[in-house]
Protein backbone atom coordinates (compact mmCIF):
# COMPACT_ATOMS: atom_id res chain seq x y z
CA UNK A 1 0.00 0.00 0.00
CA UNK A 2 1.37 3.39 -0.97
CA UNK A 3 0.04 6.79 -0.05
CA UNK A 4 -0.37 9.02 -3.10
CA UNK A 5 -0.69 12.80 -2.87
CA UNK A 6 -2.70 14.58 -5.56
CA UNK A 7 -2.09 18.17 -6.58
CA UNK A 8 -4.89 20.64 -5.90
CA UNK A 9 -6.89 20.40 -9.11
CA UNK A 10 -6.50 16.64 -9.35
CA UNK A 11 -7.85 16.32 -5.85
CA UNK A 12 -11.00 18.07 -6.99
CA UNK A 13 -11.38 15.53 -9.79
CA UNK A 14 -10.99 12.73 -7.24
CA UNK A 15 -13.92 13.99 -5.26
CA UNK A 16 -12.08 16.41 -3.03
CA UNK A 17 -9.38 14.07 -1.73
CA UNK A 18 -5.80 15.16 -1.68
CA UNK A 19 -4.35 11.86 -0.49
CA UNK A 20 -5.37 8.35 -1.50
CA UNK A 21 -4.06 4.92 -0.49
CA UNK A 22 -3.50 2.51 -3.37
CA UNK A 23 -2.14 -1.01 -3.49
CA UNK A 24 0.24 -0.72 -6.45
CA UNK A 25 3.73 -2.00 -7.19
CA UNK A 26 4.55 0.34 -10.07
CA UNK A 27 3.28 3.42 -11.88
CA UNK A 28 1.30 1.41 -14.40
CA UNK A 29 -0.67 -0.35 -11.67
CA UNK A 30 -1.10 2.91 -9.84
CA UNK A 31 -2.73 4.58 -12.84
CA UNK A 32 -4.90 1.55 -13.54
CA UNK A 33 -6.21 1.43 -10.01
CA UNK A 34 -6.65 5.17 -9.76
CA UNK A 35 -8.79 5.10 -12.89
CA UNK A 36 -10.83 2.22 -11.46
CA UNK A 37 -11.37 3.72 -8.06
CA UNK A 38 -11.71 7.36 -9.15
CA UNK A 39 -13.27 7.48 -12.62
CA UNK A 40 -12.98 11.29 -12.54
CA UNK A 41 -9.23 10.90 -12.89
CA UNK A 42 -9.28 8.93 -16.11
CA UNK A 43 -9.30 11.90 -18.50
CA UNK A 44 -6.44 13.43 -16.52
CA UNK A 45 -4.40 10.25 -16.80
CA UNK A 46 -5.09 10.13 -20.53
CA UNK A 47 -3.84 13.69 -20.91
CA UNK A 48 -0.73 12.90 -18.95
CA UNK A 49 0.26 12.83 -15.34
CA UNK A 50 3.79 12.77 -14.03
CA UNK A 51 4.68 10.87 -10.89
CA UNK A 52 7.18 12.14 -8.39
CA UNK A 53 8.78 9.35 -6.35
CA UNK A 54 10.84 10.73 -3.50
CA UNK A 55 11.28 13.98 -5.40
CA UNK A 56 12.31 12.47 -8.74
CA UNK A 57 9.80 13.18 -11.48
CA UNK A 58 8.87 10.35 -13.87
CA UNK A 59 6.87 11.33 -16.93
CA UNK A 60 6.98 8.14 -18.96
CA UNK A 61 8.60 5.30 -17.04
CA UNK A 62 5.44 3.46 -16.14
CA UNK A 63 7.43 0.42 -15.11
CA UNK A 64 9.02 2.38 -12.27
CA UNK A 65 8.48 0.63 -8.97
CA UNK A 66 6.84 2.38 -6.06
CA UNK A 67 8.94 1.55 -2.99
CA UNK A 68 7.14 1.07 0.32
CA UNK A 69 7.17 4.25 2.33
CA UNK A 70 8.22 6.38 -0.62
CA UNK A 71 6.67 9.77 -1.10
CA UNK A 72 4.46 9.52 -4.17
CA UNK A 73 3.22 12.77 -5.63
CA UNK A 74 1.20 13.24 -8.77
CA UNK A 75 1.88 16.27 -10.96
CA UNK A 76 0.70 17.64 -14.29
CA UNK A 77 2.79 16.54 -17.24
CA UNK A 78 4.51 19.70 -18.40
CA UNK A 79 5.65 21.32 -21.59
CA UNK A 80 9.12 22.81 -21.94
CA UNK A 81 10.94 25.13 -24.26
Partner 1 sequence: MNFDPRYLDRNFTSVGTRPIRPDGVDKVTGRARYGADFNMAGQLVGRVLRSPHAHATIRKIDTSKAEKLAGVKAVITAADLPDLTDGDAAMYDILDNCMARNKALYDGHAVAAVAAVDARTARQALKLIEVDYEVLPHVTDVDEAMKHSAPLINEATFTEGLEEKPVKPSNVTKRSQFGHGDVHQGFGHADFIVERSFKTEQTHQGYIEPHACVASVSSDGTADLWVCTQGHFVYRQHCAQLLGMEASKLRVTSSEIGGGFGGKTHVWAEPVALALSRKAGRPVKLVMTRDEVFRASGPTSATSIDIRIGARKDGTITAAEATLRYSSGPYAGTWAEIGAMTAFACYRLDNVKTVGYEVLVNRPKTAAYRAPSAPMAAFAVESAIDELAKEIGMDAVEFRIRNAAQEGTRSSYGPVYGPIGIGPTLEAVKNHPHMKAPLGKNQGRGMACGFWFNFGGQTCTDLNIGMDGSVSLAVGTVDVGGSRASLSLVAAEELGIAYEQVKAVVADTSSLGYNDMTDGSRGTFSSSMATISAARNAIKVLRERAAQMWDIPVDDVVWEKGHAIAKGEKHGNLGRLSLKEIATASGKTGGPIAGHSELVADGAGVSFATHICDIEVDPETGATRVLRYTVVQDAGKAVHPTYVEGQYQGGAAQGIGWALNEEYIYGKDGRLQNPGFLDYRIPVCSDLPMIDTQILEIPNPNHPYGVRGVGETSIVPPLAAIANAVSNAVGVRMTHIPMSPPRILAALEAEQAG
Which residues are at the interface with partner 1 (CB under 8 A)? 5, 7-9, 12-13, 47, 52, 54-61, 64, 71, 73, 75-76, 78-81
| Least distance between partner 1 and beta carbon 49 (Å) | 12
CA distances to 5, 13, 43, 64 from 18, rounded to whole Å, are: 6, 10, 17, 22
Indicate the residue among 24 and 44 with the shorter CB distance to partner 1. 44
Indicate the residue among 10 and 24 with the shorter CB distance to partner 1. 10
| Least distance between partner 1 and beta carbon 65 (Å) | 13
Indicate the residue among 21 and 71 with the shorter CB distance to partner 1. 71
Amino acid sequence: MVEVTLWGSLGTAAGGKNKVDIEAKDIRELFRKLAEQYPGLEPWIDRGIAVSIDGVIYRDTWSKELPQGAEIFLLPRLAGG
